[in-house]
Structure 1
Amino acid sequence: MFFSIVIPTLNEVDGILPVLMHLQGLRDQVEIIVVDGGSEDDTVSRASNWVDKVLISGKGRAVQMNAGAQTASGNVLIFLHADTFLPDDALSLIRQSINEEYFWGRFDIDLIGDHFMLRIISFLMNWRSRLSGIATGDQVIFVARESFFQVGMFPEIALMEDIALSKTLNKIGKPANLVGKVSSSARRWEQFGLLKVILLMWSLRLRYFFGENPVVLAEMYRTGRFWKH
C-alpha cells in the first residue's frame, strides 16, 4: 500500500516547514504533494525542497485537493491541512483500517493550544464525528484512490467540501474512525474566541444544511462574522 499526502496551501510560510519536516521520516512510504492556491508569501519556495511535487492551482481547498489527487500516484490519498501534524504511526493505522469493509476514514483530533476548553472541544468534535459519520478536513480525511474518483472527488465549493465529501462517501460505506490523534492548530479559535467559533461553526453548518451559498459561508468563516459583510 502506497500513500499520497495532498496538502493545500495559501500563505502558510510561517507554519508549513514544521509540518513538512515532520513528514520526512515517511518519505519511503509516501508521496508528498503541496498544492498552492496563489500564495503571496514564500510558501512555495519554502516547501519545494521538502516535497515530491509542488503544484499551482486555482484558489480553494476543494480545487487544490482535487488537483493534487489527480496527479497523485498513491492508492490511498491523505488530505492534510497545512497546520496539522499526523501521529507517528499514522500510516500503519490507516493500513490496518482499510479493508473490504472500510475504504475511507479520519483521525481523532487534538487542538493545539493552552486553553483547557480546547481539550473539551476536541473531545466533542471527535464524538460528533463518530456518531454522525461526518469528517472534517482538520481530522485528516483519507480515502482509497479508486473510491475517491468513484464519488466524483471533492465538490468544488468554497466551503464545506469536507462535509459534502463525507456525505457522498457515506452512501457507499461508513468511515473508519481512528483513535490515533492528529494535532491541529487552534489559531482560528484563538483569533476569534472559543465561544464565538463554536457558535459560528454551528451556524455555518445549519445554513449549509438549509442551502446557503458556500461562497457566502466562506466569507463568514474567513471574517468570523455571523452575516455577510
Structure 2
Amino acid sequence: MSRDASPKSRAGRLSIIIPVLDEADTLEALLDDLQGLRHQGVELIVVDGGSRDGSGERAAPLVDRVLAAARGRAVQMNAGARVARGERLLFLHADTLLPPGADRLIAGALAGRHCWGRFDIQLAGRHPLLPVIATAMNLRSRLTGIATGDQALFMTREAFAAAGGFPEQPLMEDIEMSRRLKRRSSPACLRQRVVSSGRRWERQGAWATIRLMWRLRWRYWRGESPEHLAREYRHVR
C-alpha cells in the first residue's frame, strides 16, 4: 500500500509522533492505550533515537511506522513530522497517556483561532508533592503561554512548518517551540489531563528537580546556550 495520502485524505487527520530512547516497557503500555485511536484513523509514528532495548522492534506491530533517527528529542520529532500524513500533529512522550477522545479535543481546539495547544497534566506516582507540581505547571503554562513536552504539544502542520519545526537543540526545545508558535496564536490550554510519569521527581528528589528546572529555565531566558545547560542537566541526572 502506498504511504502517500491525497490532500482530501489528509484533511482533518491526526498524526501522533512519539520520540523514544530505551523506553520499551513504558512504550508498549502507551501504544496499547492508543490502539483505539489508531482504529479510528489516527496515525501512530514512533521515532527511535538508537535504543538498545528493542523499543523499535516491540513498537512495530502497534504503529503505522517506526523510524530511526539521530538521538535527540527535537531531531526525532522533526523526523516524524516530515513523514506524518496528518494535518494535525501531536508530539507525545513515551511515558504520557492521553485523555479519552484526545483526537476530538484537539480537532476542536484547532478549529478556531488557535493553531497550537497543549493539555493540562497530572503526574503519576506516590510522592505527595506531585499534585502540587502538576498544578503549578498548568498554572504557569496558562499565565506565560509556554508549554512543555510533558503536556503533549499539538499543532497544525501549517503552524509547525511556519515555526521551522522544533529547534534541534539538546534542551529546552519545547520552550523555544512555544515561543515561536506564540507569534502565530496563543495556545489552546485544554483542561483535560494527560497522565505523565512522575519518575523524574521521585528519582532525583522533588525539591531538587524543581530547583534544577527553574534554574535552567531562568538561565535559558537570560540567553545561556542550551548546549551548556544540557551538559549540566545530564551531569545532575
TM-score by length of 1: 0.96
* 1:31 corresponds to: 43
How far apart in 2 are the matches of 1:166 and 1:156? 14
Query: Where in structure 2 are the equivalents of 1:1-229 lying within 5 Å?
Result: 1-27=12-38, 28-224=40-236
The one-letter amino acid paired with 1:37 is G
Render the CA deviation track for 1:37-90: whole Å, top value 9, x for unaligned.
011111111111100000000110000000000000000000000110001121
Q: Distance in 2 between matches of 1:86 and 1:181?
A: 7
8 A contact 1:7–1:80 mirrored in 2 = yes
How far did residue 99 of structure 1 move? 2.1
Contact 1:197 1:224 in 2 (8 A): no
Query: What letter corresponds to residue 122 of structure 2 in structure 1?
Result: D
| In 2: Cα distance, 1:222 partner to 1:108 partner | 27
Greater Cα shift, 85-94 or 58-67: 85-94
Counterpart CA distance in 2 for 1:49 and 1:178 is 31
Distance in structure 2 (CA, Å) of the matches to 1:85 and 1:134 = 21
Q: Distance in 2 between matches of 1:19 and 1:218?
A: 27
**AA at the equivalent of 1:41:** D
CA distance in 2 between partners of 1:129 and 1:86 (Å): 18
Consecutive unaligned residues in structure 2, runs of 5 or more: 1-11
**Any runs of at least 4 consecutive aligned residues in structure 1 with deviations exceeding 6 A, and if so which?**
none
**What secondary structure, in the 3-state scheme, does the structure 1 residue paired with 2:146 have?**
coil
Residues 106, 176 of structure 1: 8 Å contact kept: yes
How far 1:211 moved relative to its partner?
2.0
Whether the 8 Å contact between 1:6 and 1:79 is mirrored in structure 2 is yes
Residues 5-24 of structure 1 deviation map (CA, whole Å, 9 limit, x = unaligned): 00000011121100000000
Whether the aligned pair in 2 keeps the contact of 1:159 and 1:218 (CA below 8 Å) is: yes
Query: Aligned to 1:14, what secondary structure does the other structure show?
Result: helix
Aligned residues: 225
The two structures have a TM-score, normalised by structure 2, of 0.92
Equivalent-residue separation in structure 2 for 1:213 and 1:151 (angstroms): 20
1:209 CA drift (Å): 1.2
- The AA in structure 2 aligned to 1:25 is G
Structure 1 unmatched ranges of 5 or more: none
Identity %: 53
